[in-house]
A = this chain, B = another copy of it.
């Protein structure tokens, strides 16, 4: 083994020893041994609020020194991903996996959206290894929450219209869900944070940074402990999901992560750090905003399928293995 390879292996191993990943693993472990450990639900929601605001403010403060025009390609890419991934995922799940159409739509929609928890873990990973990254992916995170819900709604209507004549009240809820998908809580917090970080003069921002910056990594760890437990709970539901869907939950992110790295490198010109973040956006599946939207839009679909896949399979895969993998890909490409 060459010195370089051994270094890479060591680096990989050390990277698994970041506190964030270990806390996530601790949470899964607690769930697997069926410990009675329980984090208060209001604590978990509070940490989500904090982390979204924090990442927004941090990103906004950095964007304040940049021109808005430079962000346009990243934004376009984000929209493109949000619109196309659900179609791709739908095709795979329905045509290759033979799952019924409405369940396929519901699952596909989750993969087109993003998981802020995975994104934050990736940030922690890069920070721990002192890898620099571009500031635009945070904006992409905010943008990518909603379009996949829109595509999911349209797909579901199309499926329903194919199945039976359009006399039904099929899209009665469409405007409501659409509005909700664009005004949902995470977007408000993330976009609000970005704006405030961008608008507030630096010296006024100083007073709030000890809270929003210095506490960030510690609170992220407790959040990932909670998320490990949530993911662990879903592990029991693997059987219900079946072999095809579980493999989908692992292979789809690898495919999407590769796509993300490629686009980030060749079209956006991002560094290895930034490309890793884009890969994570593309490869992760939503487990906060999309599930309730699909529950209303497609009541026929089985929630435990999409919750198990996004929260029980893809999320832990990305946190434990996906992120270092995408970083490797990104390094190969940017160095190659």
Contacts and interface: CB of A to CB of B under 8 A. Distances in A.
Interface string A212-256: 101101110110010000000000000000000000000000000
A317 interface: no
A6 to B, nearest CB: 17
Residues of A contacting B: mostly: helix
Given A36-B180, A40-B45, A214 B210 contact: yes
Given A36-B180, A42-B42, A19 B196 contact: yes
Contacts of A67: none
A195 B41 CA distance: 25
B22 A185 contact: no
Q: How large is the interface on A (under 10, 10 to 19, 20 to 34, 35 or more residues)?
A: 35 or more
A217 B200 CA distance: 14
Contact of A41 (B36, B42, B185): B42
Interface string A19-33: 100110010011001
Interface of A: 14, 17-19, 22-23, 26, 29-30, 33-43, 45-46, 49-50, 53, 124, 127-128, 179-180, 183-185, 187-189, 192, 195-196, 199-201, 204-205, 207-212, 214-215, 217-219, 221-222, 225
